[in-house]
Amino acid sequence: MFLHELSRRISQGWPIKVDDVEYESLVRERFGNTCPYCSCDLMMAVCVIEHLDGMNRYRTGLHVAGNVLVACKRCNGEKRRDDSLRILSLAPSGWESFLFHNGTQCPAACLTCHYWQSVWDNEIERKQRLTDNLEKIRSFRSTFPEFQRALPVLNRTLPELLTKLYCDCQGFAESEIKFLLESLPPSFPFHDDREAQQPPL
């Protein structure tokens, strides 16, 4: 919710609005109506709105032009593994990391490497396609100057800000829940830790 609100405010004066039909058309056109990650035909696949930098506390991506693509549902799901890692070892961002699983740097059991093997069986082709798609996405992002200008500042400040916000929200929720539990009547049918710790009568 915080990232959505921040996205709305940051991109208020930008020439292209991410939720406009024109933006989706532009994205589809740029990638030839194929998935930017696996190159499958989007006419034949289930499509989803995809955030290059995922909208979570580790990736702190925004819902703004330059960070939003249309991808196939499979890639969107597979990419979540990288997006949910606190520290990435293959690349500085989740989407780049996702495309770096070319089968040479990860343990043999890596699920993302297996995914790419299932898409392109031939190793040489796989490496080439992953590199090409990485470059295509980088080039796509570079065509949004407002986004490019905002990105370094956001990358520097957002992770720390979000970590603090999550901690504050958690602390607030915990104290509210404690208050709620304490204000319930004694007859309320639930069993909490306080009851469990009481010695048997």
Q: Is 112 in the site for Zn ion (CB under 5 A)?
A: yes
Which range in 57-65, 70-78, 144-152, 167-175 contacts Zn ion by CB under 5 A?
A: 70-78
User: Among residues 59 and 101, whose Cβ is nearest to Zn ion?
Assistant: 101
User: From the CB of 69, what's the least distance to Zn ion, in Å?
Assistant: 10
50 Cβ contact partners less than 8 Å away, ≥ 6 residues apart? 36, 68, 69, 70, 71, 75, 76, 79
Q: Is 113 in the site for Zn ion (CB under 5 A)?
A: yes
Residue 89 is classified by DSSP as S
- Helix, strand counts (H, E) of the chain: 8, 2
Query: Dihedral (C-alpha) 192, 196, 198, 201: value to the nearest 10 degrees?
Result: 110
Q: Under the criterion CB under 5 A, does residue 72 sit at the interface with Zn ion?
A: yes
Residues 6+ away with beta carbon under 8 Å from 85: 58, 94, 97
State in angstroms the smallest separation of the CB of 27 from Zn ion: 14
Nearer to Zn ion, 26 or 47 (CB): 47
CB nearer to Zn ion: give 101 or 141.
Answer: 101
The reply to whether 130 sits near Zn ion by the rule CB under 5 A is: no
